[in-house]
């Protein structure tokens, strides 16, 4: 599947979620008594002789209800445990649909901190995710249901002859875990594996953990599972296929870590690092590293930011002038807005839309110039349309609506 098609697939999943149209509920048998339901995020279902264990819950409550009904078609046994692989909305939002009298929710202890943050930054979180997911989420409150059992490094329980080994690692979040059922050689990886370039350095979200991420993937590989059920994307069967899928993600995270450290030690600015770091061909074109959600640019920016302060090394930027004051100063020097407008038209013809954005900003901020606003709008549309990255396109899209 090419990048444009895959990006459109994410769009489609979001739209299905919005309309609750997920007619295609597909229960995939991973192994005897292990099932997988594909959605915007995936749900794992393990049926034991003593009850059911769920790994994540999906986001749509209506879709979750249909998953619950499917479970009830298969068994009358109670849902005993729900494991949050992490506290992101798409994995925990629909949990209430599955909760029964005996159900206990298990999660890493940092999920509590995350839910505190969401609860107290409800409007802010709502606005961020509105941008990232095209305003199509059905979530109105980020006050999610807390876990009953929390753990630090590992948590283990047995049910119906199966051992559930829950192992913490940092990666896309600091509250992440994966689930290993050794008797069946199955791993539910959460978002340690998402079937595309790891979502690290997201422009709207807090720092992520490239080093701990690949270290955790190495732990998963060492367990030699025969089934891998990921947080997003399709399950993978067979030890060799799983290794072939995970190894490039380990390599790309190691590469980013090593390269950003090299750039920092060589005194390169972020701008210089972005120009300096290019992916080796075998990682650039790998089917499991399509840059449709996470991407190299985000990963470099995020990892660089993780290890540095906000000062970029140019003393001009230590205590910057007010943006409006600076724009007015430039406008005063240019005097005639037509000079900039004319130049913007040339830049448009040259498809240098980013430079159009920089120049039109001067006129919009200093002069509230309508022609510049129109040009900026067109430049943003061009930036959106030429990107195959879901997050980039959605940020441009949202900004166009608000211009």
Interface contacts to Zn ion, rule CB under 5 A: 41, 90, 191, 231
Considering the complex, state which of residue 191 and residue 259 has its C-beta at the smaller distance from Zn ion: 191
Q: How far apart are CA 305 and CA 175, in angstroms?
A: 20
Residue 370 C-beta: closest distance to Zn ion, Å? 41
Beta carbon nearer to Zn ion, 44 or 231: 231
Kindly state the DSSP code that residue 94 receives in the 8-state scheme.
T
Give the bridge partners for 31, in sequence order: 34
> What is the DSSP-derived secondary structure letter of residue 41?
S
- Please, what is the minimum distance in Å from the beta carbon of residue 190 to Zn ion? 7
* Shortest spacing between CB 37 and Zn ion, in angstroms: 14
Q: State the Cα–Cα distance between residues 334 and 355, nearest whole angstrom.
A: 16
Of 195 and 303, the one with the shorter C-beta distance to Zn ion is 195
Nearest approach in angstroms of CB 13 to Zn ion is 12
Closest approach of Zn ion to the CB of residue 342, in Å:
46
Residue with smaller CB distance to Zn ion, 51 or 233: 233
- Determine the Cα–Cα distance for residues 240 and 315; give it in Å rounded to an integer: 52
In the complex with Zn ion, the residue whose CB is nearer, 360 or 389, is 389
Tokens of 398: 């949202």
CA–CA dist 54, 98 (Å, integer): 9
Cβ proximity to Zn ion, 191 vs 210, nearer residue: 191
At 228 the three-state DSSP class reads strand
Which residue minimizes CB distance to Zn ion? 191
CA 261 to chain centre: 23
Residue tagged 């430079």 (tokens)? 355
Q: What's the min distance (Å) between Cβ of 93 and Zn ion? A: 11
First and final C-alpha spacing in the chain: 34
Cα(293)–Cα(151) distance, integer angstroms: 30
């Amino acid at each position: 599947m090419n990048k444009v098609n895959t990006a459109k697939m994410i769009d489609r999943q979001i739209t299905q979620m919005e309309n609750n149209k997920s007619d295609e509920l597909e229960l995939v048998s991973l192994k005897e008594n292990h099932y997988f339901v594909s959605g915007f995020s995936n749900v794992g279902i393990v049926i034991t002789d003593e009850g059911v264990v769920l790994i994540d819950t999906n986001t749509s409550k209506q879709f979750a209800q249909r998953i619950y009904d499917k479970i009830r078609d298969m068994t009358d046994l109670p849902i005993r445990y729900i494991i949050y692989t992490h506290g992101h909305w798409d994995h925990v939002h629909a949990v209430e649909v599955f909760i029964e009298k005996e159900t206990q929710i298990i999660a890493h202890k940092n999920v509590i901190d995350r839910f505190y943050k969401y609860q107290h930054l409800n409007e802010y979180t709502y606005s961020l995710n509105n941008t990232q997911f095209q305003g199509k989420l059905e979530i109105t409150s980020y006050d999610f249901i807390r876990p009953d059992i929390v753990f630090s490094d590992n948590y283990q329980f047995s049910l119906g002859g199966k051992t559930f080994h829950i192992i913490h690692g940092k990666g896309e979040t600091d509250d992440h875990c994966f689930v290993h059922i050794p008797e069946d050689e199955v791993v539910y990886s959460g978002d340690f594996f998402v079937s595309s370039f790891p979502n690290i350095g997201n422009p709207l979200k807090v720092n992520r953990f490239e080093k701990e991420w690949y270290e955790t993937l190495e732990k998963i590989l060492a367990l030699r599972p025969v089934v891998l059920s990921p947080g997003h994307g399709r399950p993978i069967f067979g030890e060799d296929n799983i290794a072939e899928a995970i190894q490039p993600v380990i390599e790309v995270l190691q590469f980013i870590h090593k390269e950003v450290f090299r750039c920092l030690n060589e005194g390169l600015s972020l701008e210089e690092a972005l120009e300096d770091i290019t992916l080796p061909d075998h990682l650039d074109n790998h089917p499991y590293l399509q840059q449709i959600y996470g991407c190299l640019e985000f990963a470099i920016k995020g990892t660089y930011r993780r290890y540095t302060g906000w000062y970029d090394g140019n003393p001009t930027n230590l205590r910057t002038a007010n943006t409006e004051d600076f724009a007015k100063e430039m406008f005063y020097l240019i005097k005639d807005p037509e000079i900039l407008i004319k130049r913007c038209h040339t830049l448009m013809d040259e498809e240098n839309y980013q430079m159009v954005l920089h120049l039109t900003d001067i006129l919009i901020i200093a002069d509230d110039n309508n022609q510049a606003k129109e040009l900026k709008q067109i430049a943003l549309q061009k930036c959106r349309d030429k990107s195959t990255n879901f997050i980039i396109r959605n940020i441009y899209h949202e900004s166009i609506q608000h211009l």
